[in-house]
Amino acid sequence: MSKSLTQEELQQLKDIRQEILQLASTLGELGYQQILLDLDKEKLTEAVKTVKVKEQGLLANFSDIYGDGVINLETGEIQPRQ
């Protein structure tokens, strides 16, 4: 003789399975969003590198013109390094 779950027990099991599917779907979406964030981070990292190279070139040019010093960004005044 076979046994069966009650309707309430079966519904509990179905509810849990549905919750598992929702969690798996959410985890998949988060994984996808993480990939997109990683791509954005790579682009921003490259942009930072580009800006840093520009900054270094500009400061090297200023150093050639004005000598080695510290630039006051408010006034533009250059103080010699000590």
Q: Is residue 1 part of a domain?
A: no
Q: Is residue 69 part of a domain?
A: yes
* 78 neighbors 71 (Cβ within 8 angstroms): yes
pLDDT, tens only, 11-44? 999 999 999 999 999 999 999 999 999 999 999 9
Q: How many domains does the chain have?
A: 1
Q: What percent of the chain has pLDDT over 70?
A: 100
Q: Which of 50, 82, 51, 52 is nearest to 67 (CA)?
A: 82
Q: Which of 68, 50, 72, 52 is nearest to 60 (CA)?
A: 68
Burial 55-77 (b: 16+ CB within 10 A, else e): eeeeeeeeeeeeeeeeeeeeeee
DSSP 3-state assignment of 73? coil
Its domain, for residue 48, covers 7-80
Residue 82 pLDDT exceeds 80? no
SS3 content of the chain, % helix, strand, coil (to 5): 75, 5, 20
Q: Is residue 17 part of a domain?
A: yes
Q: Is residue 2 part of a domain?
A: no
